[in-house]
Amino acid sequence: MKLFDVYPLNDVTITKAQGSYVWDENGVQYLDLYGGHAVISIGHTHPHWVKRIEDQLEKIAFYSNSVRIPIQQSLADKLGSLSGKDNYQLFLVNSGAEANENALKLASFHTGKKKIVAFNKAFHGRTSLAVAATDNKNIVAPVNETSNIDFLPFNDEAALKEYFQTNGNKVAAVIVEAIQGVGGINVASESFLKLIRNLCDANDALFIADEVQCGYGRSGKFFALDYAGVNADIYTMAKGMGNGFPVGGILIAPYIQPKHGLLGTTFGGNHLACAAALAVLEVIEKDNLIEMSKQRGMYLINKLKSFDGIENVRGKGLMIGFDVPEDIKDLRKKLLMDYFIFTGEAKPNVIRLLPALNITRKQVDEFLDTLNEAIEEMKAPAPNEEKEEALINEN
């Protein structure tokens, strides 16, 4: 049987991982500045995370949500404490797409309305309504197409106000990433996020903060939306939540009332997923990783802004992007294949950096030195070009 070929693959097979390093089948060590799409939040195979899962596995790995699962409440208590949202409610799922599906569905249930506002370059997942709210026609199947989603320009306050003037009474929710990930590390302005909050309040709509990639401490605050000083009605979470174990969730404001059967999941909130997610929060708290993410990110961004050869460095915390000019368009590939460093990308020309929150200063400097070397090598004239230039100078 063949694997269904939908992923463009790098010719690398990873067989071992620890912290911010991974090793291939030949024993070659790579520095990981991407963490599998921002999934690795506390470092690969963190010992506390491993032990938490092993201990749980020896007790019980799974039973359905038809019985009490006390570790779910333990996770909710710790998550509420660290996020500052202890008066919110937690619904556990398996992925970011599932989190956004449930958030959008819940908003429609709560408001009785259908219209969803999303933004250009948004990415909210690959399933039914989540993919319909994703600004990429290539991954929206005909069956996913719906007139219930309207896309507006990201960070355009005038367009948002104009839309609500004529459509506000139809809007169930506005869904936004405070920092767009797949879209290219585009940071929403604080005034734009505050305007969303105000317009949702004025029109009985819900504010959904998609924190699947930018949340869980990655931005230097628990949620990237926290920089704007406003609360969402629903927060969606996933990638960094389990450090590689599949887990997701939504935080739901206290005024949104649950009822039996409203939402449901088979595997969401299973014992192992909760153990993994608890371990992540415990390490984040113990090692002060949110502040570390903020400090490491400021250092990395400031250093990158001094580099010749790259453009438009932006981001917050350890969610960083920069543009790669055409003359070194293969920089990401060179970093991986020649210098053994994993980074991410966003089309058409963005390199994304999403390392573990506990990446060390030494590892950051290792990346910076290597990046500089790679850029200089790519910009250096080829030997034939040097000879031609020498002949021109002689003549």
Segment 66-92, tens digit of pLDDT:
999 999 999 999 999 999 999 999 999
| CA–CA distance, 105 with 200 (Å, rounded to integer) | 17
Q: Is the pLDDT of residue 386 over 90?
A: no
What global pTM score does this model have? 0.95
Nearest to 227 by CA among 287, 302, 315: 315
Whether residue 196 has pLDDT greater than 80: yes
- Closest-CA residue to 186 (of 323, 38, 315): 315
Answer for the pair 194, 233: CB distance below 8 angstroms, yes or no. no
Mean pLDDT confidence for 34-56: 97
φ, ψ for residue 303, nearest 5 deg:
-65, -45
If pLDDT is split at 50, 70 and 90, which confidence band does 393 have? low
% of residues, the chain, pLDDT over 70:
96
pLDDT tens digits, residue range 321-343?
999 999 999 999 999 999 999 99
Q: What per-residue confidence (pLDDT) applies to 390?
A: 52
Residue position matching structure tokens 């590939």: 333
Res 239: pLDDT? 98
Between 390 and 375, the more confident residue is 375
User: Residues near 168 by Cβ (< 8 Å), separated by ≥ 6?
Assistant: 199, 202, 203, 205
Q: What pLDDT does residue 364 have?
A: 98
| Residue 387: predicted pLDDT | 55
pLDDT category of residue 293 using cuts at 50, 70 and 90: very high
pLDDT mean over 108-130:
98
Q: Give the pLDDT score at 159.
A: 98
The mean pLDDT value for 167-172 works out to 97
pLDDT given at position 4: 96
Question: Does the pLDDT of residue 223 top 90, yes or no?
Answer: yes
Percent of the chain surpassing pLDDT 90:
95
Counting beta carbons within 10 angstroms of the beta carbon of residue 9, is it exposed (0 to 12), middle (13 to 18) or buried (19 or more)?
A: exposed
Residue 379, pLDDT score = 87
Q: What is the mean pLDDT of residues 297-317?
A: 97
Is residue 304 within 8 Å of residue 322, measured between CB atoms? Answer: yes
Question: Quick check: 392 pLDDT over 60?
Answer: no
For residue 380, the model assigns a pLDDT of 85
Q: What is the dihedral of CA 180, 208, 64, 80, to 10 degrees?
A: 90
Q: What are phi and psi of 323, to 5 degrees?
A: -90, 145
Mean pLDDT of the chain: 96
Q: Please, which pLDDT band fits residue 384 given cuts at 50, 70 and 90?
A: low
Tell the residue number behind the tokens 């089309």, with chain if given. 347
pLDDT band at 230 (very low <50, low <70, confident <90, very high): very high
Domains of the chain: 47-286 (3.40.640.10)
- Supply the pLDDT for residue 79: 98
Give the mean pLDDT of 213-242.
98
DSSP, collapsed to helix, strand or coil, labels residue 312 as: strand
pLDDT beyond 90 at 269:
yes
Mean pLDDT of 94-104: 98
Per-residue pLDDT for 243 more than 80?
Answer: yes
Please state the rounded mean pLDDT for residues 20-42.
97
Cβ 111 vs Cβ 207: under 8 Å: no
